[in-house]
Amino acid sequence: MAFESLSDRLNKALKNITGQGKLTEKNMNDMLKEVRMSLLEADVNYEVVKNFIADVKEKAMGQEVMESLNPGQMVVKIVHDEIQELLGSEDAQLNFKKQGITTLMMVGLQGTGKTTASAKIAKYCTKKMKRRVLLVACDVVRPAAIQQLQTLGQDIDVDVFTMGADVDAVTTAEEAMKYAQDRQKDLVIFDTAGRLHIDEALMQELSDMKASIQPDNIVLTVDAMSGQDIITVARDFNEKLGITGLIVTKLDGDARGGGLLSVRSITNVPVLFVSNGEKMDDLEAFHPDRMADRILG
């Protein structure tokens, strides 16, 4: 599982000081050094680690902690709260229109799990939120992606709109909106094209789609296994498109976790969901407090 090694090391570093009645500056510094190393080894961004340690230090060296009866416990709580803060101080959600059709454009590099996540969100919103969902196959670059979305749609019993690979993505999206209106859908999810790298052609196509649909949500999928690359990708997509949220996929793998821990504080884009498997139910709404519990479990 992701975060395993970080979790082990952090817990060890903190365990050393929880049993101590009184803390000295030395054992506090030793602990901070160990926490710093664990974060860097987990591939957390250097600047993020620097600020994190400075914040923990300032709070932990405060008089209240140093003189309390159980300073170790208080330090553990400080580290926990700072990790939670890194992940986002509150739960973020998809934006839903009060009336009419809510639109969600899914974007991401090829292979990050965008098509799978589009279908998972469709299922999540159908089952948990009673939404009437339409999935739209706008990845016309890769005909296999259309087929993949249709198969997933059948599995989860959600309508999939496609005009085939010969019609461009913008036209497909526009026709899909008419189709959704006629059938009283209230959530339309557009699966868009991905490429192996960010390039002009991809961004232009996505910008054109954005201008046409004016989506309520633009959600980027990033692969936890790609470490700090998540940050670069999220930053680029955000600058060019303005993304409203992230889905971090493949947390069932052995990702070190640094990308997920860094991305929020650097890009300010919230994580909405995490994906931890290939099955349609392997999607969880993201709760920073629960993730912090898991890391310091």
Residues that constitute the known binding site for GTP = 108-115, 191-195, 249-252
Taking the complex as a whole, how short is the minimal distance between the CB of residue 110 and ligand GDP, in angstroms? 4
Interface positions, 128-187, toward ligand GDP (CB under 6 A):
none
Q: Which is nearer to ligand GDP, 9 or 277 (CB)?
A: 277
| Angle at 170 (CA atoms; ends 146, 153), nearest 5 degrees | 30
Q: Is residue 222 within 8 Å of residue 199, measured between CB atoms?
A: no
| Residue span binding ligand GDP (CB under 6 A) among the ranges 17-25, 91-99, 173-181, 249-257 | 249-257
Q: Which is nearer to ligand GDP, 15 or 279 (CB)?
A: 279
Q: Which is nearer to ligand GDP, 278 or 293 (CB)?
A: 278
Among 228, 249, 262, 265, binds ligand GDP (CB under 6 A): 249
Q: Where are the alpha helices (DSSP H) in the chain?
A: 4-18, 25-41, 46-60, 63-66, 71-87, 114-129, 143-156, 169-182, 200-213, 229-241, 258-267, 288-295
Among 217, 228, 244, 275, binds ligand GDP (CB under 6 A): 275
113 binds ligand GDP (CB under 6 A): yes
Across 175-190, b (16+ Cβ under 10 Å) vs e yields ebbebbeeeebbbbbb
| Angle at 42 (CA atoms; ends 36, 45), nearest 5 degrees | 70
Q: Which residues contact 227 (CB under 8 A, 6 or more apart)?
A: 43, 255, 256, 258, 259
> Contact letters (x/-) for ligand GDP, 189-228, by CB under 6 A?
-----x----------------------------------
Among 11, 68, 212, 276, binds ligand GDP (CB under 6 A): 276
Integer Cα distance of 114 and 220 in angstroms: 8
Q: Which is nearer to ligand GDP, 120 or 210 (CB)?
A: 120
Q: Which residues contact 46 (CB under 8 A, 6 or more apart)?
A: 40
Integer Cα distance of 286 and 1 in angstroms: 16
88 binds ligand GDP (CB under 6 A): no
277 binds ligand GDP (CB under 6 A): yes
Among 38, 102, 115, 265, binds ligand GDP (CB under 6 A): 115
Binding-site size for ligand GDP (CB under 6 A) equals 18
Among 16, 110, 212, 238, binds ligand GDP (CB under 6 A): 110
Taking the complex as a whole, how short is the minimal distance between the CB of residue 99 and ligand GDP, in angstroms? 31
Q: Which residues contact 130 (CB under 8 A, 6 or more apart)?
A: none
| Residue span binding ligand GDP (CB under 6 A) among the ranges 44-52, 90-98, 229-237, 273-281 | 273-281
3-state DSSP assignment of residue 102: strand
Q: Is residue 39 within 8 Å of residue 52, measured between CB atoms?
A: yes
Which residue's Cβ lies closest to ligand GDP? 113
Phi, psi of 55 (to 5 degrees): -65, -45
Residues engaged in binding ligand GDP (CB under 6 A): 108, 110-116, 194, 249-250, 252-253, 275-278, 282
